[in-house]
């Protein structure tokens, strides 16, 4: 399953809900303000670390760039994708769960 | 692969309509079929032709209309959500005794059954919203 999260973890708890429900082998894609969840050194980064071996983490590059966030600030292991990569992730997983 | 897209947020609100548009474009560029884009809740506000953003700003409604024309997309606006928010086609305007309609080119008004059908027909359904 692919999970998408589009809100900042400092605004809503959807990223945390997603991390608690996602199963091993699932992928998590952060888009829109959700990309703030991919930054290292934040108070929520510690929630992502324990799931790093079990879940594949992706972040939407255009939304990072729109917010002036450099890739060097990402938590290790996050892969950056463009909209084409977003489409590929949806195609690769049988279901997409949007955490709204 | 056959994709269905759902847009639950109006234009110029956060980013859902823009994300949905960019995703739809990318899917088409990759050769996928987009079976339907369903506009629900405040998402119906993407479908009014009376949208007049500043000229140097992106025109979200026109972007959708152009994409629909170019790729023969089926843009469906939920009728119950549309009526509440004043989105009317010619038939509905007449039926409700209104002096004009405002549905944008390429959009059509229909029921929730169209969303259910998209869920059944499509290989993937992706929801964009608030």
Set of chain B residues whose Cβ sits within 8 Å of the Cβ of A88: 30
Contact indicator for B61, B77 with CB cutoff of 8 Å: no
Set of chain B residues whose Cβ sits within 8 Å of the Cβ of A96: 124-127
Is the minimum CB–CB distance between B130 and chain A shorter than 8 Å?
yes
pTM: 0.97
pLDDT of residue A38: 98
pLDDT of residue B19: 98
What would the mean pLDDT of B80-98 be, rounded to a whole number?
97
pLDDT of residue B24: 98
Is the minimum CB–CB distance between B50 and chain A shorter than 8 Å?
no
* Residues of B acting as catalytic residues: 78
pLDDT of residue B98: 97
Instruction: List chain B domain ranges.
Output: 2-128
Give how far B117 is from chain A: nearest CA, Å: 17
What is the 3 state secondary structure string of chain B?
A: CEEEEEECCCCCCCCHHHHHHHHHHHHHHCCCEEEEEEECHHHHHHHECCCCCCCCCCCHHHHHHHHHHHHCCCEEEEHHHHHHCCCCCHHHHHHCCCCCCCECCCEEEECCHHHHHHHHHCCEEEEECC
Summarised one tens digit per residue, pLDDT across range A11-57 is: 999 999 999 999 999 999 999 999 999 999 999 999 998 999 999 99
Predicted ipTM?
Answer: 0.97
Give how far A33 is from chain B: nearest CA, Å: 9
Summarised one tens digit per residue, pLDDT across range A60-84 is: 999 999 999 999 999 999 999 999 9
What would the mean pLDDT of B56-63 be, rounded to a whole number?
98
Q: Are A96 and B32 in contact (CB < 8 Å)?
A: no
Enumerate the β-bridge partners of residue A59: A30, A80
pLDDT of residue A23: 97
Q: How far is CA B70 from the centre of its chain?
A: 15
Let me know if domain B2-128 sits in CATH 3.40.1260.10.
yes
Chain A residue with minimum CA distance to B129: A100
pLDDT of residue A74: 98
Q: Are B129 and A98 in contact (CB < 8 Å)?
A: yes
Closest CA to A23 of A46, A45, A2: A2
The residues, ordered by sequence, that sit 6+ positions from B8 with a Cβ below 8 Å of its Cβ are: A100, B16, B40, B41, B42, B43, B127, B128, B129, B130
Is the minimum CB–CB distance between A33 and chain B shorter than 8 Å?
yes
Give how far B48 is from chain A: nearest CA, Å: 24
Q: Which CATH number fits domain A2-99: 3.90.1150.10, 3.40.1260.10, 1.10.3080.10, 1.10.1040.10?
A: 3.40.1260.10
Chain B residue with minimum CA distance to A87: B27
pLDDT of residue A47: 93
Q: How many Å from the N-terminal Cα to the C-terminal Cα in chain B? A: 26
């Amino acid at each position: 399953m692919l999970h998408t999260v589009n809100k900042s973890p400092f605004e809503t708890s959807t990223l945390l809900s997603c991390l608690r429900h996602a199963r091993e082998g699932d992928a998590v894609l952060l888009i829109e303000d959700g990309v703030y969840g991919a930054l290292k050194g934040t108070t929520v980064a510690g929630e992502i670390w324990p799931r790093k071996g079990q879940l594949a983490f992706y972040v939407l590059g255009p939304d990072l760039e729109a917010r002036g966030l450099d890739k060097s600030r990402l938590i290790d292991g996050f892969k950056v994708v463009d909209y084409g990569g977003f489409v590929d992730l949806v195609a690769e997983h049988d279901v997409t769960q949007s955490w709204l | 692969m056959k994709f269905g897209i759902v847009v639950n947020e109006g234009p110029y609100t956060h980013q859902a309509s823009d994300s949905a548009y960019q995703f739809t474009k990318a899917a088409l560029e990759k050769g996928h079929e987009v079976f339907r884009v369903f506009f629900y809740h405040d998402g119906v506000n993407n479908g009014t032709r009376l949208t007049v953003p500043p000229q140097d700003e992106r025109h979200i409604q026109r972007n959708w209309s152009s994409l629909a024309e170019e790729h023969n997309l089926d843009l469906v606006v939920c009728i119950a959500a549309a009526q509440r928010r004043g989105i009317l086609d010619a038939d509905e305007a007449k039926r409700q005794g209104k002096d004009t309609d405002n549905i944008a080119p390429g959009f059509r008004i229909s029921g929730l059954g169209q969303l259910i059908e998209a869920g059944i027909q499509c290989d993937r359904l992706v929801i964009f919203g608030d």
